[in-house]
Amino acid sequence: MANIGAIESLLSGNLDLNKEIERDKRERKSKQVTKKAAPKKKILVKKKVPSSAKVKVVSEKSNLSSTAIKANLPTSDQQIVELPTDKVRPSKFANRSELSLQDANFVDLMERIKNHKQETPIKVRPSGDSYEIVYGHSRHRACQLLGIPVKAIVEAVTDKELVLLMFEENYARRDLSPFEEGLMYQHWLDQGVFDSQVEISKATGQAKGAISKRVSMTKLPVEIIEFIGDTRELKIKPSNDLLQKIGDKAMLTAVLDTIESYAHTNHTIEQKVSALLRTKTKKKAASKTLMAELKDINKVTYAACRIEKGAPIIRFRKGFDQDKVREIFEKIPGILE
C-alpha cells in the first residue's frame, strides 16, 4: 500500500509539473507572438510612399527627357497666363512649314480649341515689350484666328534652351517632316546656336547620319522645290538620290527640262520625284557645244548658250523674268557692233 501511495503522490506531482510546464510554454509563445507583431507596425510605416516619391515614379516611366517633361508640364513656379495674341510673335527659330498652319490638322485644332478651349498652354519668352514663342506656334495661330487670348507659360530662356525645348515638344508629337527637320537643323547652324552637326547630335540625341541626310534635302535647287510644292511629302532617300543625280551639270539641265514638261500636269509629289529620277540626258546633247552659262547668286543656272547645228542658241529657265530677258537681248546688238 505504501508503494501505491508513493506512486500516486509521484503521479500527482508530475501532473502539477506538467501543468506548470504547459503554462510556461503558453507564456513564452505569447511573448514571441508579441515580439513578432511589433516590427510589422514599423515596416508598414516605412513603406508609406510620400507624394514626392510618387511624382518621381511617374517621371521615370516617361519616355521623354527631363527637358521634355519640363516643357509640357508646368512646374509649381510656372504660372499659366492669358496673353493677347498680338503681343506674341513667332520665334525666329520657327520650324514649321506655313502649309502646316493651313491644312486639315490645323483646322481640326481650331475646332477643338473653339469647342473645348485651349487645354495645353504654349511657352513664350519675354522679348522687349512683347513675347517670342518657344513652342506652340499652331496653338497661337489658332487662338489668333479665333480672336481669343492664348494661354501661355512665360519663361526666360537662351537661344539654345529655346531650340531644344521646341525640338523636344515637336519630337514628342512626332509631327515634323524630314524636310522641316532639315531646315531646322540648318537654321541652328546658320544662327550659330550650334557649331556643327556633331554638336546637334549630342544635344538632341539624334544620330549624326540622320541629321546629315535631312540637312542635305534642303540643298535641292529652288526650281525643284517649287516644282514639288509641299515639301512635307518629300522622303529622305529619293531626295538625296535626286541631289546626287543633279551633281552633273548636263543632268541638272535635263532635270530642269523635265520640270518644264511637267509644269502643267497634275501629278502627285511621288510621281514628280520619280519622273525627275528617271530623267536621262539626251544623246544629242553630246554634239552641242556649251559656250556659256549664266547663274544666279545660288549658283543655279538660269540661262545657257550652246551651239546647235552651227548656230548659237540661248535657253532661259522657265519662269525667268521676261523683262530681264528683253533687257539682255536689247544689249546684244551693242555688243556685236
Would you give per-residue pLDDT tens digits along the chain (337 residues)? 444 444 344 444 444 545 555 666 566 655 554 544 444 444 333 333 333 333 232 222 233 334 433 444 444 457 899 999 999 999 999 888 777 777 788 899 999 999 999 999 999 999 999 999 999 999 999 999 999 999 999 999 999 999 999 999 888 777 789 999 999 999 999 999 999 999 999 999 999 999 999 999 999 988 898 888 888 889 999 999 999 998 888 888 898 888 888 877 788 888 888 989 998 886 554 455 666 777 766 676 777 777 777 777 887 777 777 877 787 777 777 666 6
As a whole number of angstroms, the distance between CA 157 and CA 150 comes to 19
How many Cα atoms sit within 13 Å of 45 on the Cβ side?
5
Last residue of a domain, one of 175, 191, 207: 175
Based on the domain organization, do 146 and 229 belong to the same domain? no
Q: Are 98 and 195 in contact (CB under 8 A)?
A: no
Q: What is the pLDDT of residue 29?
A: 58
Last residue of a domain, one of 185, 218, 251: 218
Based on the domain organization, do 140 and 189 belong to the same domain? no
Q: Is residue 147 in some structural domain?
A: yes
The conformational region for residue 334 under phi > 0 = left, psi -120 to 50 = alpha, else beta, is alpha
Q: What is the pLDDT of residue 289?
A: 64
Based on the domain organization, do 185 and 166 belong to the same domain? no
Q: Is residue 286 in some structural domain?
A: yes
Beta bridge partners of 305: 292, 314
Cross-sheet strand order for the sheet of 88-89: 80-83, 150-154, 122-127, 130-135, 88-89
Task: Give the cell for residue 158.
Answer: 537662351
Give me the residue label for grid cell 514663342: 133
Based on the domain organization, do 214 and 276 belong to the same domain? no
Based on the domain organization, do 214 and 265 belong to the same domain? no
As a whole number of angstroms, the distance between CA 199 and CA 191 comes to 14
How many Cα atoms sit within 13 Å of 293 on the Cβ side?
13
Based on the domain organization, do 96 and 133 belong to the same domain? yes
Question: Exposed, middle or buried, 139 (CB in 10 Å: 0-12/13-18/19+)?
Answer: buried
Task: Give the cell for residue 226.
Answer: 517649287
Q: Is residue 3 in some structural domain?
A: no
Q: Is residue 17 in some structural domain?
A: no
In the chain, the number of structural domains is 3
Based on the domain organization, do 182 and 290 belong to the same domain? no
Based on the domain organization, do 241 and 295 belong to the same domain? yes
- Structural domain including 210 reads 177-218
Q: Is residue 22 in some structural domain?
A: no
Based on the domain organization, do 63 and 171 belong to the same domain? yes
Based on the domain organization, do 67 and 163 belong to the same domain? yes
Q: Is residue 151 in some structural domain?
A: yes
Based on the domain organization, do 205 and 238 belong to the same domain? no
Based on the domain organization, do 124 and 185 belong to the same domain? no
**Identity of the amino acid at 131:** Y
Helix, strand, coil in percent for the chain, rounding step 5 = 60, 15, 25
- 144: domain CATH number is 3.90.1530.10
As a whole number of angstroms, the distance between CA 317 and CA 302 comes to 5
Last residue of a domain, one of 117, 146, 175: 175
Q: Is residue 40 in some structural domain?
A: no
Q: Is residue 65 in some structural domain?
A: yes
